[in-house]
Structure 1
Amino acid sequence: MTLEADVLAAYPAEVPIPAGAVADALAAANAKTPRVLVVLDDDPTGTQSVADLPVLTRWEASDFTWAFEHIARSGCSPAVYVLTNSRSLDPAEAAVRSEEVVRNALAAAGSLEKLRLGFVSRSDSTLRGHYPLEPDVIAATVADATGEKTDGVVLVPAFPDAGRVTIGGVHYMRGTGDAAGTLTRVSATEFAKDATFGFTTSVMPAYVEEKSHGRFAADSVIVLDLNIIRAGAAASDPVDGAQISANAIADAIEAATNSTPIVADIVTENDLRALSLGLEEAERRGKKLLYRVGPPFGRARIGQEIRTELSGAEAYAGNTPSEAGGLIVVGSHVGVTTRQLKALTEQHSSARIVEIDVEKLLAAETAAAADAYLDQTVETVVEALRGGDVIVHTSRLLIKTDDPAESLRIARTVSAAVVAVVNRTLKTFPPRFVIAKGGITSSDVAAHGLEIRHAIVRGPMLPGIVSLWEPVDGPAKGIPYIVFAGNVGDDQSLADVTRKLSSTF
């Protein structure tokens, strides 16, 4: 591990930039032709850093029309999140889905007067996902549909709220507890050993070379290090400092062409805002950019303030809470999730715990046998909801395989079981609230378990992390839905969120 203070000592201090400065720059750029950012979110946890934006789990042109009209009508920030769930797909399926989303978004925008689109590929802050496939497909689809070629793909995996920062082109995870103040390279964490999306380096240019199989050499990657992001640090006036940084960033990007990878150092929200101003300046000069980013980039790019965490009362605002218990669904197997589950079950003594036995499910000889097992599970859950909260989790033994395709198949089988339990429970006895823990889990629960098609993300349940969606249609309308990434928060976070929403905890 490395001390963060020692690493940062080589760089200037951050440039103080209010969110309003980014919003003003965006408003000026959008004065004649409004632009909406379409965020292809490879699991729904990308929404945890934003507030009051539309979310889609389907992507027909009509869905985009609903979102664009909501933005125009409500006056919310100009962005829409599209839940592609592509991290649960194989590469061919992920490519098809990305192309569908982009083509349908462009078609919907084309039917409206004076609306242009920007595209963001939102992915994991610990570097897992279909890269460079997804930005490649977005760029190719935009070029085919509009003739517009992409000059650069900006990589911003940092997520300071969750302890992921990039310094000197190296991506780190911050330590917590006794290790606070330290940095560990992400390649030395459990996330780098992911069965499907593993990687060997935290040096971002080398990561780009590794994942592109040499198509982009490490030395061809443009690195916007903190010397560039914070170029205006010495200015006496913060406005001047912000402009100096913006110009330095745009100057550094000037050479980008043909989807050149561009890596950005980020440690603070001010760094994200400085980057956003620089990207806006680069685009004003004519650069065509796509973005491959972690969750907080979208917030900074559209000039949103950091939303304070929602209270329990705010979570139910406008709706009457059910008398039923709440449903907490845990599918993720990363270490922090298992620790959070342990803390919740120890503290929430009145909650009923129901385990989905993955080994039993996979060993079922027929689909009917697996279905019967799930029916029994639903009966147990529904009965327990009548008296209080229910924690449904998959068995903690992670079944591993060296075959990435087989790993995905197992993950899909387990996720389908979780979805079936949630959906049958919803149709039988709707819960007071639903929390889904894990990226793929929360995606499948939203789109299929709760049958959400359109939702509004209202804000975070904890500072900077864990988003609350308000479903606006379907059988889950009015039920607060909490999207909780598997790899964020401390050991108490799941218990803290549950306590806010529960009537029995």
Structure 2
Amino acid sequence: MSNKPKIIVLDDDPTGSQTVHSCLLLMHWDVDTLRTGLRDDSPIFFVLTNTRAMTPESATAVTKEVCQNLKLALAAEGITDFLIVSRSDSTLRGHYPIETDAIATELGPFDAHFLVPAFFEGGRITRDSIHYLIIDGTPTPVHETEFAKDSVFSYHHSYLPKYVEEKTQGQITAETVERFLLADIRAGSLERLLKLSNNQCAVVDGETQADLNSFAVDILAAASQGKRFLFRSAASILTALAALPPQPIAAENMAKYVRQGKPGAIIVGSHVKKTTQQLATLLQAEGTSGIEVNVKQLLDDGENQSAELLSESSEKIKVVHNAGKTPVIYTSRQELTFKDAKTRLDFGVKVSGLLMDIVRGLPSDIGFLISKGGITSNDVLSTGLSLRSARLLGQILPGCSMVITNSDHPQFPNLPVVLFPGNVGDADALETVYKRLSKNTK
């Protein structure tokens, strides 16, 4: 292993690894599993906490538990040189500052915590401390997008110092936030970084990967001089910090991981507009067959309806699979309304439970699995497939990770699984991934 600090990423859904490869994703965070991550040859590993699907209280408790176990694992491995990243959504949805506060309490003190939401593969850039989503070629401030109206994580500012002030309820005021602008980053920031102290909040611009690459060089130089930094970021800064070579197998050749050229299965949980468009395109593709799961029925009488929906869906999947096609299992698309955020999260748990029962019942000889949606993907790995860890192979499309299950998995050994975030890619992206994986299907 190099003498660079180990990069430890607490990921609030499993899509933060969408710009790196050849590292471990951990679904459990007991001390022994964390030690496996610390010992691994890759400079980076991910702990999938799935906190974005939790209440603020649960998110705090889980984050603290991971950090307490991490402290023990680091001590056991004799590692003192590490960087901690709280990886979250590039459109600013998530439990900030709850998670960074919990990390600082358990693993601090830190000299600074940086907000770095830029994610270039997903068209998110930050300029003059304003975070943009590029829509049809036009940079749109994120507070004007559907993501800012999220029923659990809404916000009103794209100007990051104001976003910080809003989210910390004024505990950190906009004026006190340090801003690293494009000009600063391109000229070099080491001197400024060395002066930061007392968990100073800082926001970081980025228009291209090269910007974050040069910022990462300065971060690592400051860390080597004893500065302790914490990050709240999307995926692109991870690429910069890990500085990995290109992935071993190119995206368009990843069909070589498909088991025996068999058709696969696709699970679609995400409800953002982009997913619904991608689903419509995918269902036109040759060799796919759509199976809608009407989750509205779960509102009435959870238990019975769930069992009924499960057996109905499993029966349809079997028929499609036996016909040599790929079933596309998707939740009904109509937007449901809930009286409060907790009711919505609880309903999400119910839906996910049903989808994971469906995953567990998939034919054991499927060639591949594609999971669409961040929280859905997390549940597929940890609950549907009951994995403790998985090896990340790389990206099958910019922003879309592919992992492989262990060879000793009791039901699906060596199964390639695509983790496809809800809001990544163009209208054809899901179909592109399906075609890449099924090009050798017998």
Residue 452 of structure 1, aligned match among 387, 399, 403: 387
Please list every run of 5 or more consecutive structure 2 residues that lacks an aligned counterpart in the other structure: none
Residue identity opposite 2:317 in structure 1:
V
CA distance in 2, matches of 1:167, 1:308: 33
Query: Who is 1:408 aligned against?
Result: 345
Tell me the CA shift for residue 115 of structure 1: 5.1
* Structure-to-structure mapping, 1:209-228, within 5 angstroms: 209-228=165-184
CA contact (8 A) 2:297 2:305 kept: no
Residue 382 of structure 1, aligned match among 298, 307, 318: 318
SS of the residue corresponding to residue 320 of structure 2 reads helix
The reply on whether 1:353 has 2:318 as its aligned counterpart is: no
CA contact (8 A) 1:308 1:460 kept: no
Query: Who is 2:126 aligned against?
Result: 166
CA distance in 1, matches of 2:302, 2:145: 38
The reply on whether 1:95 has 2:60 as its aligned counterpart is: yes
How big is each residue's C-alpha offset from its partner over 1:222-253, in whole Å with a ceiling of 9 and x where there is no partner? Answer: 0000110111xxxxxxxxxxxxx1xxx13223
The reply on whether 1:52 has 2:8 as its aligned counterpart is: no
CA distance in 2, matches of 1:266, 1:200: 21
CA distance in 1, matches of 2:80, 2:229: 17
The reply on whether 1:423 has 2:360 as its aligned counterpart is: yes
Query: Who is 1:478 aligned against?
Result: 414
The reply on whether 1:137 has 2:137 as its aligned counterpart is: no
Residue 294 of structure 1, aligned match among 211, 234, 238: 234
CA distance in 1, matches of 2:127, 2:246: 22
Tell me the CA shift for residue 430 of structure 1: 3.6
- Relative to 1, partners in 2 of residues 1:466 and 1:42: Cα closer, same or farther, differing over 3 Å? same
**Identity across the alignment (%):** 33
Please list every run of 5 or more consecutive structure 1 residues that lacks an aligned counterpart in the other structure: 1-25, 144-148, 232-244
How big is each residue's C-alpha offset from its partner over 1:296-339, in whole Å with a ceiling of 9 and x where there is no partner? Answer: 2111102124548734643434x74363x211111111111111
CA distance in 1, matches of 2:281, 2:249: 21
Tell me the CA shift for residue 386 of structure 1: 1.8
CA distance in 1, matches of 2:21, 2:83: 19
Query: Who is 1:110 aligned against?
Result: 75
SS of the residue corresponding to residue 198 of structure 1 reads coil
CA contact (8 A) 1:57 1:454 kept: yes
CA distance in 2, matches of 1:39, 1:477: 26
- Relative to 1, partners in 2 of residues 1:286 and 1:67: Cα closer, same or farther, differing over 3 Å? closer
Tell me the CA shift for residue 281 of structure 1: 2.3
Tell me the CA shift for residue 361 of structure 1: 2.2
Tell me the CA shift for residue 399 of structure 1: 1.0
CA distance in 1, matches of 2:302, 2:21: 44
How big is each residue's C-alpha offset from its partner over 1:272-301, in whole Å with a ceiling of 9 and x where there is no partner? Answer: 111101111222333211011101211110
Greater CA deviation, 119-128 or 369-378?
A: 369-378
TM-score, normalised by the number of residues in structure 1: 0.83
Tell me the CA shift for residue 257 of structure 1: 2.6
Query: Who is 1:466 aligned against?
Result: 400
Tell me the CA shift for residue 373 of structure 1: 2.3
CA distance in 1, matches of 2:79, 2:152: 41
Residue identity opposite 2:230 in structure 1:
L
Residue identity opposite 1:321 in structure 2:
Q
CA distance in 1, matches of 2:249, 2:144: 31
Residue identity opposite 2:130 in structure 1:
V
The reply on whether 1:265 has 2:235 as its aligned counterpart is: no
CA distance in 2, matches of 1:49, 1:415: 26
Tell me the CA shift for residue 424 of structure 1: 1.8
Tell me the CA shift for residue 198 of structure 1: 0.8
TM-score, normalised by the number of residues in structure 2: 0.94
- Relative to 1, partners in 2 of residues 1:309 and 1:408: Cα closer, same or farther, differing over 3 Å? farther
SS of the residue corresponding to residue 477 of structure 1 reads coil
How big is each residue's C-alpha offset from its partner over 1:142-169, in whole Å with a ceiling of 9 and x where there is no partner? Answer: 13xxxxx111101100001110000000
Residue identity opposite 1:488 in structure 2:
V
- Relative to 1, partners in 2 of residues 1:303 and 1:350: Cα closer, same or farther, differing over 3 Å? closer
CA distance in 1, matches of 2:436, 2:22: 20
Greater CA deviation, 271-280 or 121-130?
A: 271-280
Query: Who is 1:63 aligned against?
Result: 33
SS of the residue corresponding to residue 77 of structure 2 reads coil
How big is each residue's C-alpha offset from its partner over 1:99-122, in whole Å with a ceiling of 9 and x where there is no partner? Answer: 111121221221124453321100
Tell me the CA shift for residue 88 of structure 1: 0.3
Greater CA deviation, 275-284 or 199-208?
A: 275-284
Greater CA deviation, 465-474 or 83-92?
A: 465-474
CA distance in 2, matches of 1:305, 1:322: 29
Query: Who is 1:19 aligned against?
Result: none
CA contact (8 A) 1:109 1:116 kept: no
* Structure-to-structure mapping, 1:202-241, within 5 angstroms: 202-231=158-187
- Please list every run of at least 4 consecutive aligned residues from structure 1 whose deviation after the TM superposition is greater than 6 angstroms: none
Greater CA deviation, 100-109 or 45-54?
A: 100-109
How big is each residue's C-alpha offset from its partner over 1:390-421, in whole Å with a ceiling of 9 and x where there is no partner? Answer: 00000001212251111111211111111111
Greater CA deviation, 106-115 or 166-175?
A: 106-115
- Paired residue total: 438
How big is each residue's C-alpha offset from its partner over 1:452-490, in whole Å with a ceiling of 9 and x where there is no partner? Answer: 21111111111x310100112533321100000000100
Query: Who is 1:239 aligned against?
Result: none
Residue identity opposite 1:129 in structure 2:
G
CA distance in 1, matches of 2:246, 2:371: 23
Query: Who is 1:371 aligned against?
Result: 307
CA distance in 2, matches of 1:321, 1:127: 40
CA distance in 2, matches of 1:431, 1:297: 35
The reply on whether 1:438 has 2:398 as its aligned counterpart is: no
CA contact (8 A) 1:36 1:115 kept: no
CA contact (8 A) 1:48 1:467 kept: yes
Tell me the CA shift for residue 429 of structure 1: 3.4
CA contact (8 A) 1:125 1:294 kept: yes
CA distance in 2, matches of 1:223, 1:155: 10
